[in-house]
Amino acid sequence: MTMNVTTIRGNMKNFVEMVRTIAATMLAVSSLTWIVILLSPTATMGQVRMTVPPQSEPVALSGATIHTVTDGIIENGIILMENGLISAVGTDITLPSGTKVIDVSGKHIYPGLIDAYSTVGISEIGAVGVSSDVNELGDFNPNVRAEVAVNAESRHIGTTRAAGVLVTLTTPEGGLISGMSSAMSLEGWDWEEMSLESAAALNVNWPNPNPGRRRGPGFGPNPQEPPPTYGEQIQQLDDFFAEARAYRDAAVAGTEMRTDSRYAAMIPALDRDIPVVISADGAGQINDAITWAQKEGLRIVIRGGADAIHVSDRLVAEDIPVILTSTMAAPGRDYEGYDGAYSMPARLYRAGVRFAISGGSGSLYSDRLPWEAGVAVAFGLPEEEALKAVTINAAEFMGISDRVGSLEPGKQATLLITTGTPLDMTSNIEQSYIQGREIDMNNIQYHFFQKYMEKVRQHLRLIS
């Protein structure tokens, strides 16, 4: 059976029109679906907390036990907050006229906790790829700044704040050089309002000298190339740093050249203005990373540090701090004791290594930062040192200790009012302040707790 050209063209025209109609219908349905989702009570309550305006009047918190972290404990003390800053701490303070005095007798006041390694704001739902903006393509992305990707409406912000974590070092991942960690205060309408320090630290992922087994080359005309060796990856780092250093020197000399945002972003790290945080766990990795950093003239912090205790002498001698990424991890080797990670902070403390404790990077885990430090206390770390590990130590390592990390005049009024130590699960955080703002303490977990407790109460009334 044959068909003439006119018939074929007519059929094709009808087919195209049908496809257009189906596409328009699907678009309309999709748009309507999104409208319904966005206007639904669940969506509007998804964030549940409300951003509050900047501090507008002096506020004095009176009668609490104040844990300054850096200058001891003040019983029955007063903290005066003005214009988002702490203006006075003590027991005998002259308050300016118009000060709002809040009686917090019997309570405790601590600095807001700091998570030195987090993805809060750049990762939402693990199973939904488009909700994660953690990894960038390519091996060298020093110009990536995590702050610009932070979603101020993230549900994780509310749950993280409820645990007492008020500042995060939000950190990109992937490649050999991931980009810049950004220090973020967890209050604000957008990332610009939340940002404390745009480029707090440069992140390097040290290569693994013993990578896991890989599958053989792929099938087809373009088989998979073998991955670069350990030595080749270190050479790539050497080459990139050398190129960045040459770029910096040419810029200082006034040489006319094309702007390269990657090399320009490296200059603060090359000049030792910001630290280079090197992710390394094994003793060999840590030793190699230190040797490499000394050759490059960098100021470094080791992140991970699973084997840090085995190189503690060198860490102390070189004054290199460590960010422990989890104290609640299971043993990684057959011969390790069950408490290897739990007792690591105490062992590093006794060895004289400076360290901070993080919540384990994932946005789901920043809210357990207090318990990470609390576990360390249970396994031998003095409580005051555990508190430092999630406040002033993290702030000092990341260059923000002039603003947060302790309760001192001149620093930001970012603090917690609690019933006890925030490192203990039995304590309650009753109110938090970020830069003097009395923040909304609601969050999605508390919202659902209240919702389903009401369901229980209604069923109990029906039964009774």
Residue 65 CA, chain-centre distance (Å), reads 29
Domain boundary among 366, 389, 404: 404
The confidence score (pLDDT) of residue 374 equals 95
**457 and 318 within one domain:** no
CA distance 380 to 382: 6
The confidence score (pLDDT) of residue 1 equals 44
Q: What is the CATH number of the domain that holds 423?
A: 2.30.40.10
Please tell me whether residue 100 adopts helix, strand or coil conformation.
strand
Residue 47 has pLDDT above 70, yes or no: no
**387 and 289 within one domain:** yes
**Which carries the bigger pLDDT value, residue 26 or residue 68?**
68
**130 and 106 within one domain:** no
- Per the prediction, the chain carries an average pLDDT of 88
CA distance 341 to 308: 11
Range of the domain at 456: 47-111+406-464
**185 and 53 within one domain:** no
The confidence score (pLDDT) of residue 419 equals 96
Please tell me whether residue 122 adopts helix, strand or coil conformation.
coil
145 falls within a domain: yes
| Per-residue pLDDT tens over the stretch 67-78 | 999 999 999 999
Q: The pTM is what?
A: 0.86
Residue 306 CA, chain-centre distance (Å), reads 19
Q: What is the CATH number of the domain that holds 321?
A: 3.20.20.140
**73 and 125 within one domain:** no
150 falls within a domain: yes
Residue 140 is encoded by which pair of tokens?
A: 């060298």
Tokens 């373009």 found at: 222
pLDDT category at 460 given cuts 50, 70, 90 is confident
The confidence score (pLDDT) of residue 210 equals 82
**321 and 233 within one domain:** yes
Highest mean pLDDT among 101-105, 135-139, 448-452, 459-463 belongs to 101-105
What's the number of domains the chain is made of?
2
> Of 434, 408, 430, which is closest to residue 419 (Cα–Cα)?
430
**421 and 293 within one domain:** no
C-alpha distances (whole Å) from 131 to each of 119, 147, 152 are 12, 15, 13
26 falls within a domain: no
**277 and 198 within one domain:** yes
23 falls within a domain: no
385 falls within a domain: yes
**73 and 173 within one domain:** no
The confidence score (pLDDT) of residue 21 equals 61
Using a pLDDT cut of 70, give the percent of the chain over it: 86
Amino acid (one-letter) located at 113: L
Work out the average pLDDT over 168-185.
94
422 falls within a domain: yes
415 falls within a domain: yes
